[in-house]
Amino acid sequence: MTTVPTQPDLADGPAEVVKGRSLWHDAWRRFRRKKMAMISLAVIVVYVIVALLVATGLLAGDWNEEVGPRYQAPSADHWFGTDIFGRSTLRMTLYSAKTSLTVALFASVISICIGVPMGAMAGYFGGKVDEFIVWLYSVLASIPGLLLILAFAFVLRDVTVFGYSLQGMPAIYLALGLTGWVYLCRLIRGEVMKHRSRDYVTAARSYGCSQKRIILKHIVPNVTHLILIDFSLRFVGYIHAEVILSYLGLGPVKDPSWGKMIDAAKLELQRGHWWELTAATLAIFFISVALNIASDALRDALDPKLKT
Give the angle subtended at the CA of 169 by the CAs of 166 and 175, to the nearest 5°.
75
Query: What are the Cα distances from residue 194, in Å, to 112, 124, 135, 222?
Result: 20, 9, 20, 11
Alpha helix positions (H), 32-144: 35-56, 89-125, 127-141
CA–CA distance, 106 with 110 (Å, rounded to integer): 6
Measuring CA to CA, which residue among 250, 225, 248, 256 is closest to residue 173? 250
Residue 228: exposed, middle, or buried by beta-carbon count in 10 A (0-12, 13-18, 19+)? middle
pLDDT, residue 14, reads 56
CB 168 within 8 A of CB 254: yes
Element (H, E) at 296: helix 275-302
Matching CATH number, 29-306, of 1.10.3720.10, 1.20.1050.10, 3.40.190.80, 3.80.30.20:
1.10.3720.10
CA–CA distance, 133 with 291 (Å, rounded to integer): 30
The DSSP call for residue 87 is B
- Beta strands, E only, 133-290: 160-161, 164-165
pLDDT, residue 283, reads 93
pLDDT, residue 112, reads 93
Residue spans of the chain under pLDDT 50: 1, 308
pTM, full prediction = 0.83
Q: Where are the domains of the chain?
A: 29-306
Measuring CA to CA, which residue among 107, 47, 48 is closest to residue 234? 107
pLDDT, residue 86, reads 81
Q: Collapse the DSSP code of 82 into the 3-class scheme (helix H, G, I; strand E, B; otherwise coil) and give the result.
A: strand
* Average pLDDT along the chain: 83
pLDDT tens-digit series, residues 132-165: 999 999 988 888 877 888 888 778 777 777 767 6
CA–CA distance, 170 with 158 (Å, rounded to integer): 11
